Amino acid sequence: MDLRESKQQIFEDKLKSHSSVNFHVIEKHIWLVAILVICLSWFWSFHHGYVLTYNDAASHLNIARRIVDNLTPGLSQIGTVWLPLPHLLMLLTVWNNFMWHSGLAGSIVSMASYVLTVVFVWKLIRLLTKNTLAAIAGALIVGTNPNFLYLSTTPMTEPLFLAGATLAVYALAKYITTKSIANLLQCGLSVLATTLVRYDGWFFFASIAVMLYSWGWVTRGRKKAEGALVLFLSIGGFGIVVWLLWNQAIFGDALYFMRGPYSALSQQNVIRSAGQLPTAGHIVTSLSYYGWAMVDSIGWAISVVTVASLAALVWFLRKSATWIILAALATPFVFNVLALYFGQSGLNIPQAAINPGLFNTRYGLLVIPAMAVIIGLAASYRKFVWIAMMAVVVQFGLFAYQGTPIVLADGLKGLATTSYTVEASHWLAQHYQGGLILTSLASHDAFVARTGLPMRTYVHEGTRQYWTNALAKPSASVNYIAMMSYPPDTVYKAISKLPDFTEHFILVYQYGKFGIYQRR
């Protein structure tokens, strides 16, 4: 044994001594550091005006706000396209005007999710390896990623999904180890949460069910496997059943969220008709696009070390249960590739051969817990832990050299294409003289969020009879109309040629094709 190996062995022995004390002390510090880092990140993001760069972030805030502040308030404002849990959590604070307009009502959910993801990646690696340094390396991979940090300061849904998925996999690992029903219940509840955050969670739920049953049958027999599966399905699948019933009760179609006019499928069909879905029907292109999204958002150094770590695990790792954990963490990769292939999702990357750009690059972050755990498992073998630590340092340096994180750049690019939401909202906030405003929330959510006016000021798709009446005869109920002439939004299509509109309203502000009209 050479001097270097001897020093490392002494260091590892020290870590193992008083392990329970070290474990709890280190975990406490990970909680505290994660909380401090994400709070500082939010202040930076808020100071630079980056919290609401994604228009979807404003949409999530508005959905929550409409439940308590609207011409027709109530739970029906949850709608159908986006799953409800993020908006229900925002209800705790979105009633406050500052929390709504600043975006903090949604940011708090994402910030808490960041902390949970970092901590439970640490706990999962520590559970699987009993190696403190390896667990710290995994937590650093997640916690120091600037793209994940930025996204966790916004009201987007990916951080909350990652938190739920990480907790679910941790509980699954505990269940496999202990066979405790309590751990199975925790796994089911965490999966239930993911199914109410993103539709990725539905695939995650089905994947966990298959893995759970397969492992149970092989290790415990068919009867016990079936019992565990029934319990898991009853809990983990409850949210899916509720959402289907909700859509049936409110919209008359259990699958309205999937085939309605505002669904992702409808949007992708428009994009497909314009020839902007290069991944649809092409599995290699789908793999390439999502692979690059992973590299762009998680980093070259981490990606290379992940591949090396996975190769090492194939050679050294013999525990089949650990492979089940890795397969569970990898489900977002499978889901996103399949979604691209079947044309259910859109993604653009700077490396694209045709029309390169930035669109939904944040999807690559959904595999960051998987990468962290793969590297953490490999780092539990002597010497490799220092390679993992070096990868974290190198990647942090590469991100610093790169400058603007790509997920932030993606949001800024989207904001630039809808700059009218900023300019027009400022104008309306300064010149508003009272009365109702007719606009399409489906098209101009970000505009509404930025004006600073109460949601009950607006007549939109979710105000039922107010909306119908305003589209038929706007002069009878509204003082302002905000609409887009090209591409034409719902309001423009309905009223632009109505005599009631042309006779009673005058254009008072225009930014590009977006106009604000006031009643004469």
Q: What is the pLDDT of residues 415-468, one digit of tens each?
A: 888 888 889 999 999 999 999 999 999 889 889 988 989 999 999 999 999 999
The predicted model gives 26-55 an average pLDDT of 96
pTM exceeding the 0.95 threshold for the entire prediction: no
Among the ranges given (97-106, 269-278, 453-462), the one the predictor scored with the smallest mean pLDDT: 269-278
In one-letter notation, the amino acid at residue 399 is F
CA-CA distance, 336 to 344, in Å (whole number)? 9
Residue 227: which residues within 8 A CB-CB, separation 6 or more? none
pLDDT at 263: 78
Whose structure tokens read 């999904």?
161
pLDDT at 304: 97
pLDDT higher than 60, residue 385: yes
pLDDT at 419: 83
CA-CA distance, 126 to 499, in Å (whole number)? 70
Of the candidates 407, 423, 511, which has an alpha carbon nearest to the alpha carbon of residue 57? 407
pLDDT higher than 70, residue 501: yes
Mean pLDDT (the chain) is: 92
CA-CA distance, 346 to 270, in Å (whole number)? 11
In one-letter notation, the amino acid at residue 83 is L
Of the candidates 121, 177, 175, which has an alpha carbon nearest to the alpha carbon of residue 148? 121
Instruction: Give the up-direction half-sphere exposure of residue 508: CA atoms within 13 A in the CB hemisphere.
Output: 19
3-state secondary structure of 41: helix
In one-letter notation, the amino acid at residue 207 is S
Higher pLDDT, 8 or 44: 44
pLDDT higher than 60, residue 165: yes
Which pair of structure tokens corresponds to residue 231? Answer: 């319990």
Tell me how far CA of residue 13 lies from CA of 3, 8, 10, 45, 248, in angstroms. 15, 9, 5, 42, 60
pLDDT higher than 60, residue 14: no
Which pair of structure tokens corresponds to residue 471? Answer: 């589209």
DSSP letter (8 states) at residue 199: T
DSSP letter (8 states) at residue 423: H
pLDDT higher than 60, residue 269: yes
Sign of CA dihedral 455, 461, 465, 467: positive
The predicted model gives 250-278 an average pLDDT of 81
CA-CA distance, 333 to 294, in Å (whole number)? 9
